[in-house]
Amino acid sequence: MPNITTFNTNAPYIYLSIAVAADNNTFHEFDAIFDTGAPTTEFSDAALYYAGFLGSTKPVILKSGLQTQKYGKIILPQIQICGHSMENLEVFVSHFEKSWGIDALIGLDFLRRFKVEIDFSKGAITSDMIPLETV
């Protein structure tokens, strides 16, 4: 059964709410955007620190022209995106420009795991598991 996630078509990006489970099954909600230009999902170091996945954030100076700076990887035990739960997802730890106002970029690694259709006219993302025979 496919999941349908709605989004605001008047926003400059496709904004989503996602959840990450900590070891004690406490879910932390984060603001994210779909970024079809990002090969891998990225989380801000500040968000990961807040959720208890990082002991501290590293001082990072963004290189000229960049709005994020990847500097590590972490495996999240469970993440929920568009109603789908994924376990042990490796994501980049990045320093985000604060003006973005988001905690994560959902990259192509999510899209590769699911059949995803974005209907911008309806403001809806339909996502479903990919049948095993096509994986």
pLDDT at 101: 87
pLDDT at 81: 92
pTM: 0.82
Instruction: Write the single-letter amino acid at 134.
Output: T
pLDDT at 33: 94
Return d(Cα 58, Cα 65) in angstroms, integer. Answer: 20
pLDDT at 7: 95
pLDDT at 70: 79
pLDDT at 125: 94
Q: What is the block-wise mean pLDDT of the chain (135 residues), using blocks of 10 residues? A: 92 93 83 90 90 74 65 88 90 85 91 90 91 54
CATH for 119:
2.40.70.10
Return d(Cα 7, Cα 27) in angstroms, integer. Answer: 21
pLDDT at 66: 56
Q: What is the extent of the structural domain holding 126?
A: 3-134
Instruction: Write the single-letter amino acid at 93.
Output: V
Give every CB contact of residue 87 below 8 A, 6+ residues apart in sequence.
77, 78
Element (H, E) at 112: helix 108-113
pLDDT at 1: 78
Q: Name the domain count of the chain.
A: 1
